[in-house]
Amino acid sequence: MLPAKKIDLVPESPGVYLFKDKRGRIIYVGKSRSLKDRIRTYLHPEYRTQSLYRNAFDFEFIETKSEVEALVLEDNLIKLNKPRFNIRLKDDKKFPYLKITIQEKYPRIFATRNLKKDGSILFGPYTNAKNLRRAVKAVRNIFKIRTCKRDLPLKKTPRPCLNYAMKKCLAPCQGNVVEDDYRARIKNVISFLSGKSMNLEQELESRMKKAAEHEDFETAATLRNQLFALRDISQRQDAVFTDIVARDIIGLVIADTFIKENFDTPKSYANVTLMKIRDGKITGKENYPFVLSKKTSPDEIIETLLRTVYLHTYDIPDEIILPIDLEDKKVFIRWFKAERKRRVRIYCPRTGLKKRLLKLASTDADVGLSEIMPVAKTPPPLLELQRILNLATPPKVIEGVDISNISGTSATGSIVVFENNYPNKKEYRMFRIRTVHGPNDYAMMEEVLTRRIKSLIIKDKPLADLVLIDGGKGQLTSAEKAYATAPKQIPLLAFAKRTDMLYYNDGREISIPTYSPALKLLKRIRDESHRFAIKYHKKLRGKKLIASELDYIQGIGPKRKQILIKHFGSLDKIREATTDEIAKIKGFNQKIAKKIRQALQPNQ
């Protein structure tokens, strides 16, 4: 729980806040234009049920000069600390970029995951390795830019490498190309990777004609080959706009189910498709899968994507089309203007061609989501149960039922629920026997299951795939009577404690080997249902014992009895209490306290 008093010390200025757990580990990083207002929202009742609120015990904050500075700092802190409650891309490692070392005399181009600022420019990130290889191959084939790690110029001229022999490099290490000409090619590479193929084609065609006019046919032939290669790539792309505005269209799809893998916290998934449109044509498409926790908002997903993609890449569009109206879009607009000297428009279209393209990107994101969603594997014990009992499908939901009483008094029943081999304690239910008097386990079993079926039908919840009865043939017969009213036939299985013999509702008596994982699962369910029933039974017995002794004390009614139990916790603690301790309780006095002491400790 966050320290409320500390929030009063937080300034109303932009910055970054960090939530910490009991051990001091950073579990969440966020930004805000007003730190105090944002952190205070976490005290609202809406947040108190969330895991983040329950796990946050302290926080720190860092003031910044502006929201833009807070945006960059937030991105760096998330990458550095990898907080548990910040949403993350499904692939934790950094996505690769194409790097052009323009600070070098003869720049290189290569794939990298290192984002340190050394004067180079980056294109990406690429989530699809095939797209990355295609981009490198196109640059090498068309522009013949070097990819080696040699520091040029070299003191000694080495033999040319294999790339030169394959006509994929101009071999500047051999002095085969003038620096100005090589720089002109780098400029063309940047235009090509930025999707500005129309302007590049016009420039190459103009230079080719000039070279031909000056009878520099070798240069003209080189430019012609580059031009033809660019046109070949351009013809494969679909035209969607008549203008040349650079646009990125972002489609988002969030899974509506949460998947629990083993003992992990249930997770959901989202997929974002980023469609690049340059010179009116679709030039590229990348999918970014996300792993989500509960109550993750679409705003948080889109903000994470914008930080991931645009805070490092050189390729900044003129427009970014979003599937939602982003609350903090002005922060990103200001960052583009301040850091990249670009005016970028960010908006969500309502109608027209852009809306249709947004739908296309969302459809593509939906396809990508289906590919990243994990397929739930059926645990081996359930597969073995399916085989042993000859069921149509594995029993993914198994309910265990047990009855607990002493000679019919304080009788209780319990239902425990196991889903995919693991207990689902939120679905556990306890029953206080109402209609059966005296020691009759069979009738109690029938009452509990009848009430259970009725409750599931009223709440429109599905029945279990298998019901495990703690007992023998008698309990199984009672269960069959209860389930005769069910809307469908449910497999019932009785499990005798002493012999570990199974009695199935088709009349079979089944003995499973002790090493079987199916038998181990059934024992876990039986023991859990027994533990749960005993726990409730003890609770009822304790209340009855306290009530019976306190009821005989004159002047102690239901209200005072409740206050006593709440204050001391148990009958033994009330017995140990002194007269003064009882008299201090609101609503009590010395006279009543003495009566209680005399009733509970008559020998003193």
The residue among 40, 64, 86 that closes a domain is: 86
Question: Number of C-alpha atoms within 13 angstroms, CB side, residue 202?
Answer: 4
Question: DSSP per residue over 494-534, as a string?
Answer: EE-TTT-EEEETTS-EEE--TT-HHHHHHHHHHHHHHHHHH
CA 301 → CA 281, 287, 338, distances in Å?
26, 13, 24
Question: Among 203, 247, 244, 245, which Cα is nearest to 223's?
Answer: 203
112 and 80, same domain (yes or no): no
DSSP 425: G
As a whole number of angstroms, the distance between CA 188 and CA 184 comes to: 6
Beta strand pairing call for 397-406 and 121-123: unpaired
Of the candidate ranges 143-147, 167-171, 538-542, 574-578, the one whose mean pLDDT is the lowest: 538-542
Q: For the domain that residue 336 is a member of, what is the CATH number?
A: 3.30.420
Structurally, how many domains does the chain consist of? Answer: 5
As a whole number of angstroms, the distance between CA 341 and CA 362 comes to: 30
| CB 332 within 8 Å of CB 310 | yes
- Does pTM surpass 0.85? no
491 and 423, same domain (yes or no): yes
Tell me if 219 is assigned to some domain.
yes
Q: How many CB atoms lie within 10 A of CB 86?
A: 20
Tell me if residue 551 falls in helix, strand or coil: coil
- H/E run at residue 494: strand 492-495
What does the chain come to in residues? 604
Higher pLDDT, 456 or 157: 456
368 and 501, same domain (yes or no): no
As a whole number of angstroms, the distance between CA 528 and CA 207 comes to: 81
Token pair 């400790």 in the structure block, residue: 601
> pLDDT > 90: what percent of the chain?
13
Please provide residue 82's backbone torsions phi and psi, each rounded to the nearest 5 degrees.
50, 60
Determine the structural domain holding residue 425 and report its residue range: 384-542
Please give, one letter per residue, the 3-state secondary structure of 97-119. EEEECCCCCCCCEEEECCCCCCC
382 falls in which pLDDT band (50, 70, 90)?
very high
Tell me if 342 is assigned to some domain.
yes
The residue among 342, 372, 402 that closes a domain is: 372
Tell me if 377 is assigned to some domain.
no
Work out the average pLDDT over 41-60. Answer: 77
Question: Among 204, 218, 275, 266, which Cα is nearest to 241's?
Answer: 275
Tell me if 240 is assigned to some domain.
no
Q: Is the pLDDT reported for residue 548 higher than 70?
A: no
Q: pLDDT of 112-168, one tens digit each?
A: 888 778 888 888 888 877 778 878 887 887 788 888 887 787 767 667 788 888 878
The residue among 200, 235, 270 that closes a domain is: 235
As a whole number of angstroms, the distance between CA 386 and CA 521 comes to: 13
As a whole number of angstroms, the distance between CA 53 and CA 41 comes to: 11
As a whole number of angstroms, the distance between CA 312 and CA 433 comes to: 66
Please provide residue 121's backbone torsions phi and psi, each rounded to the nearest 5 degrees.
-115, 150
Mean pLDDT of the chain: 82
| CB 466 within 8 Å of CB 385 | yes
Please provide residue 531's backbone torsions phi and psi, each rounded to the nearest 5 degrees.
-60, -45
Tell me if 378 is assigned to some domain.
no
Phi/psi class of residue 380: alpha, beta or left (left: φ > 0; alpha: ψ in -120 to 50)? alpha
8 falls in which pLDDT band (50, 70, 90)?
confident
Tell me if 401 is assigned to some domain.
yes
Question: DSSP per residue over 234-278, as a string?
Answer: HHTSPB--SS---EEEEEEEE-S--B--TTSPPBEEEEEEEEEEE
Token pair 């239902």 in the structure block, residue: 415
Q: Is the pLDDT reported for residue 197 higher than 90?
A: no
**Which tokens hold the place of 465?**
């795939």
Q: pLDDT of 73-113, one tens digit each?
A: 888 888 888 888 888 777 655 778 889 998 988 898 888 88
Q: Is the pLDDT reported for residue 201 higher than 80?
A: no
Beta strand pairing call for 422-423 and 409-419: antiparallel
497 and 421, same domain (yes or no): yes
As a whole number of angstroms, the distance between CA 130 and CA 110 comes to: 14
For residue 204, what are the β-bridge partners? none
Burial 305-344 (b: 16+ CB within 10 A, else e): bbbbbbbbbbbbbebbbbbeebebbebbbebbeeeeeeeb
62 and 105, same domain (yes or no): no
Higher pLDDT, 553 or 396: 396
418 and 512, same domain (yes or no): yes
